[in-house]
Chain A
Amino acid sequence: MTATPLADTLRRLLGPGKPEVTCETCFDLLDQYVDAEVLGQDADAAGPGLRAHLDGCPACADENDTLRALVAFE
């Protein structure tokens, strides 16, 4: 999904607008979330509120992207 510049600005300023976990909880759950994603399981069950946080927090989203790419290689 490619966001328009306006949608991107809004996302950065307004965040996901949904219940989300903290950065700390995101880090705690990231491994099980990524494993579930890569293994085709229900990632949102492994980390409720985590997807919303990744939409709002670029630093945690970067870590998620790299972990998923690394695990998917194996």
Chain B
Amino acid sequence: MTQRAGTDVDVAAQTGPQPAELDEDSARWMSSLRSTGARRDQAVADLHALLLRAARFEAGRRAGGMPAADRDDLAMQAADDALMQVLGKLDTFEGRSRFTTWAYKFAIYEAGVKARRRIWQDREVTLEAESWSLIPDTGSGPAAEAEGRELLHALEDGIRTALTPHQRNVLVALAVTGVPIDVLSDRLGTTRGALYKTLHDARRKLRGHLGDQGLAVLADGYVKETR
């Protein structure tokens, strides 16, 4: 089996479970959406209502501060787009999950992306990788710990010296400034997957840089001297 471009290992694509038999509810959804006439029309309307519920739920979580009418409008657009996606991909549904869970994810994706875009639409995204620092001026937060300060200095040094300019810009925007990945991919004319690949490569280089300094970061954030 071929590996997809992207991260270094894509294990799930090789070992995921095989298609299963549809459960009763999923089979009912599939047969009514594949039918014709009034039965299909009703199924499409039911599906849209289900997608709208999921989109409203996600919009509420991501854009709670947005005026209710705007949020509802966003959820409706997300449900409309998700409906097209689900109907277009119906033949790819293999019953590895319940139909409703499968359908929900399209609505959640559409609503999440739209919410992040809407929230950031008037905000400037600077790709100026010079105007940042990991270390706050005052003594609170991570910098209060001497070990943390030393590590953050090593990380800053790695970001400035070990990464390509593009990797540095992407890492700083996503991981320091907190620009959402979909917003950055819009501004740069690329995709979430391509940006995540850049982030992944930058992270691997940074770990390598720390290793060169004799530092290893364990899963819980504990730092170990390796020499």
A residues adjacent to B (C-beta < 8 A): 3-15, 17, 19-25, 27-32, 34-35, 45-50, 53, 56-59, 62-63, 65-67, 69-71, 74
B138 in contact (CB, < 8 A): no
Known: A23-B193, A48-B12. A62 touches B112 (CB 8 A): yes
B221 in contact (CB, < 8 A): yes
Is A9 a contact of B134 with CB atoms below 8 Å?
yes
Secondary structure call for the A interface: helix
Is B175 a contact of A12 with CB atoms below 8 Å?
yes
How many whole Å from A22's CB to the nearest CB in chain B? 3
Contact with A along B16-48 (1 / 0, CB 8 A): 110000000000000000000000000000000
Query: Please, which residues of chain A bring their CB within 8 A of the CB of B207?
Result: 14, 17
Known: A5-B142, A59-B192. A20 touches B104 (CB 8 A): no
Is A48 a contact of B112 with CB atoms below 8 Å?
no
B54 in contact (CB, < 8 A): yes
B105 in contact (CB, < 8 A): yes
How many whole Å from B54's CB to the nearest CB in chain A? 6
How many whole Å from A21's CB to the nearest CB in chain B? 5
CA distance A28 to B54 in the complex (A): 18
Query: Please, which residues of chain A bring their CB within 8 A of the CB of B98?
Result: 31, 35
Return the contact of A6 from the options B58, B61, B145 (Cβ within 8 A). B145
CA distance A28 to B17 in the complex (A): 12
How many whole Å from A35's CB to the nearest CB in chain B? 4
B217 in contact (CB, < 8 A): yes
B11 in contact (CB, < 8 A): yes
What are 10 inter-chain pairs, A to B, with CB distance below 8 A?
A6-B151, A9-B134, A10-B217, A10-B221, A12-B176, A32-B97, A46-B17, A49-B9, A63-B105, A67-B104
Q: 18 more A-B contacts (CB under 8 A) besides A13-B203, A22-B7, A25-B10?
A: A6-B142, A6-B145, A9-B142, A13-B175, A14-B210, A14-B217, A21-B10, A24-B6, A25-B4, A27-B105, A31-B105, A32-B16, A32-B17, A35-B98, A50-B12, A58-B180, A59-B116, A62-B62
Residue of A4, A20, A29 ringed by the most chain B CB atoms within 10 A: A20
CA distance A71 to B79 in the complex (A): 17
CA distance A8 to B101 in the complex (A): 30
Return the contact of A25 from the options B13, B61, B112 (Cβ within 8 A). B13
Known: A9-B142, A15-B200. A45 touches B17 (CB 8 A): yes
Query: Please, which residues of chain B bring their CB within 8 A of the CB of A11?
Result: 221
CA distance A15 to B207 in the complex (A): 9
